[in-house]
Amino acid sequence: MAILVVGGAGYIGSHTARALRHAGYDVILYDNLSTGSRRLAQGFELIEADIADAATLRPALARADALMHFAAHAYVGESVENPRKYFRNNVTAALTLLNSALEAGIRRIVFSSSCAVYGVPRQIPITEETNREPVNPYGASKLFFENALEAYSRAYGLRSVRLRYFNAAGADESGEIGELHNPETHLIPLALAATASGRELQIYGSDYDTQDGTCVRDYIHVNDLADAHMRALQYLESADQNAVQSLALNLGTGRGHSVLEIVEAAETATGRPVRRSVRPRRAGDPPILIADPAKAQSVLGWTAKRNLPEIISSAWAWMQSASRRRAA
């Protein structure tokens, strides 16, 4: 069975591609390498093209039995400054992908959605029934595609699982692939980099209504996300005609960690201090985001297996191997 992994040279796509191959699937990567990296695609067939390119999509989709869609711009701040870029890729181009998949006869899609579809939730932990009220163009673009999948499932019988990630983090335990963002804006790699370089970490806000005043997030290991994608695919393969046609699932651990807890965990993992300074709040940051992952457990039999120290130590091992490679 062949899976087209669109955005497969990116952070979460590349980890999922490995998990799929390990489970015996044929994997074809499709990525325009705008944010993805050839390094993360090593060892796989890679079709280097854009999701707006229907002519290249057509023969690629014709070879696939199912589609996984990871190809999106994913910086919240950038989406506020440049919404056009986000709607062009995450909505317009993504619809070209969806329509091409439909025309190619694909009836199973696993989609990378985000907890950003919830905006600033009124209740914690967040269940899938929480209102979807995104507060930035990135979240709005993810919600648009979710709505399209729901409509396509009703109208055309196209089955989908929409996986709403909380904060993806960590790296494959092999040290061969991991998080590669340019620019890097995420807390865990920046905190680890601060221990190595002595550069100061900026803490965005210490006056939130949380245990220590800093924002709380639900960090989930990228290989736990990869495992959930495999299970989502198996769910779509199951012949159960009563199964939900377009299913949304939260992927998180159900545990929250504050920014300061992450800083301490980075210090523990590396044995070095993180120099830090407190800055004003970052626009658009909800104070607390924690998943209720019960539905993913009951429907897919999935739970996160890796804890925060494992997330941080795998991210650190990846950063060290990447810097060794650069030095070599």
Which residues inside 275-314 make contact with ligand UFG, applying CB under 6 A? 282, 285, 289
- Which range of residues in 40-48, 83-91, 184-192, 303-311 is near ligand UFG by CB under 6 A? 184-192
138 flagged as catalytic? yes
Cβ closest to ligand UFG, residue 104 vs residue 117: 117
Taking the mean position of all CA atoms in its chain, how far away is CA 179? Answer: 11
Measuring CA to CA, which residue among 114, 168, 163 is closest to residue 141?
A: 114
Cβ closest to ligand UFG, residue 272 vs residue 282: 282
- C-beta of residue 69 within 8 angstroms of C-beta of residue 6: yes
Q: Strand, helix or coil at 254?
A: coil
Sign of CA dihedral 88, 137, 312, 17: negative
**Whole-angstrom distance, CA of residue 177 vs CA of residue 42:** 10
| Count of CA atoms in the C-beta half-sphere (13 A) of 34 | 13
**Would you tell me how many other CB atoms lie within 10 Å of the CB of residue 2?**
12
181 binds ligand UFG (CB under 6 A): no
Cβ closest to ligand UFG, residue 138 vs residue 316: 138
**Would you tell me how many other CB atoms lie within 10 Å of the CB of residue 153?**
18
Least distance (Å) between residue 76 CB and ligand UFG? 5
Least distance (Å) between residue 192 CB and ligand UFG? 12
204 binds ligand UFG (CB under 6 A): yes
**Whole-angstrom distance, CA of residue 153 vs CA of residue 158:** 4
Least distance (Å) between residue 281 CB and ligand UFG? 7
**Would you tell me how many other CB atoms lie within 10 Å of the CB of residue 238?**
9
Cβ closest to ligand UFG, residue 215 vs residue 317: 215
253 binds ligand UFG (CB under 6 A): no
12 binds ligand UFG (CB under 6 A): no
Chain residues that interact with ligand UFG, rule: CB under 6 A? 74, 76, 114-116, 138, 167, 185-187, 190, 201-204, 215, 217, 259, 282, 285, 289
The catalytic residues are 138
